[in-house]
Amino acid sequence: MLDMYTNISSIPLGYNHPSLIEAAKSDIWVQAAINRPALGIKPPSVWPELLQNSFMQVAPPGLNQVFTAMCGSCSNECAYKAVFMRHQQVKRGVSTPFSQEEMETCMCNEEPGSPKLSILSFKKGFHGRLFGSLTTTRSKAIHKLDIPAFDWPAAPFPQLKYPLDKFESENRKEEDRCLAETERLIKEWHVPVAGVIVEPIQAEGGDNHATPYFFQKLRDITKKLGVSLIVDEVQTGGGATGKMWAHEYWNLTTPPDIVTFSKKMQAAGYYHNMEFRPSESYRNFNTWMGDPMRAMELEVVVNQIKKDNLLETVQITGKYLRDSLHDLSSRFPDHIKNVRGLGTFCAFDCKDAANRDKLVAELRLLGVEAGGCGQETIRIRPMLVCRPRHIKQFLDRLETSVQKIA
């Protein structure tokens, strides 16, 4: 199989990479596999060094702290908690201790100890399947059915026309409309908004893009209104867009407050600065707090990305992929349209949902694993080591599949 989906965008170096196999044979990997620590209270002696050699080697610009977690969903859940704690700390006063009333009422899920606060997300966004993250997920009903949710707001995410450079005027109006509604919701929502979460590219919701202008203005709004900005890079982080972090394309004047990650990073968690670290122990906490073995895996991945210039490879391969998809789109406009992407993090729309599902099935019969998202979209998520020669195989089989269902 030619894997262009990579376990939902999660395999960075391909299968059975020699450097990972060699590292896995080491005593330190064996010890990590059989002696898993509760990192919050009993980290191994190598943990500080490992943090520096893995997570902090690729920390987003402007963020110098990392919180390690178990998966993308709990990365976002813990990020929400950090935002709420920070919001209340500022409101209470940084050096003011908790009141007796706060400590008593939180045990009854009542104010002021359990404040009424919310996280604003965007329609068609996906942020996980746990309770807080599921409330902010807006992409598929099947994830949310029968599950109670918080009373949190959802703003419209820009529905842009592609290619972006041919519809700048129309897209700017759409982004301004969404920004205005976002600001209105933050100001007027009946449950005070403490934070905003956004994906650089709405992956599960259909690979929906917005321009750097949208995110720059969104950051301005959050700064002006005193709410935290969480950038969910669970799927876009780790190099697939041609940069380690997709939000690096935005050229923000100030960094996001929190950047969450998982998938291609192999480990999970979020980056932040000191003001989002709780002042008391055990507040943002679980037994494992991540996994040293996955941090070791990330260390190998990061070193390999640098050694083999894989971000440059992604940019070169991504351009070839997009150019070729545009060519196919000109020949099969009913079946391949709205080609878009950054790096090899690419997608195109099909004629409709049924047509998309048929195309995914036909590709699989020809030995290509691809994945759908949104209503009619096929997303392409190759590994970082993917080269133009692999893309050529994919495109040949894609053309054959389109011809068969056309």
**Best CA proximity match to 391, nearest among 316, 338, 339, 317:** 317
Of 3, 207, 232, 257, the catalytic one is 232
Cβ-in-10-Å burial (0-12, 13-18, 19+) of 388 comes to: middle
Task: Examine the residue annotation and report whether 232 is marked as an active-site residue of this protein.
Answer: yes
Residue type, 270: Y
Cβ count within 10 A of residue 108: 9
Task: Examine the residue annotation and report whether 126 is marked as an active-site residue of this protein.
Answer: yes
What Rg do the C-alpha atoms of the chain give, in angstroms? 22
Tell me if 107 sits within 8 A of 98, measured CB to CB. no
Of 91, 98, 187, 287, the catalytic one is 287
Task: Examine the residue annotation and report whether 263 is marked as an active-site residue of this protein.
Answer: yes
Of 55, 67, 84, 126, the catalytic one is 126
Task: Examine the residue annotation and report whether 308 is marked as an active-site residue of this protein.
Answer: no
Q: What's the longest Cα–Cα distance across the chain?
A: 70
Strand partners, 196: 120, 229
- 392, two tokens: 């050529």
Of 263, 264, 351, 358, the catalytic one is 263
> Which residues are CB-contacts of 241 (< 8 A; sequence separation ≥ 6)?
200, 201, 249, 314, 342, 343, 345
Enzyme catalytic residues: 126, 232, 263, 287
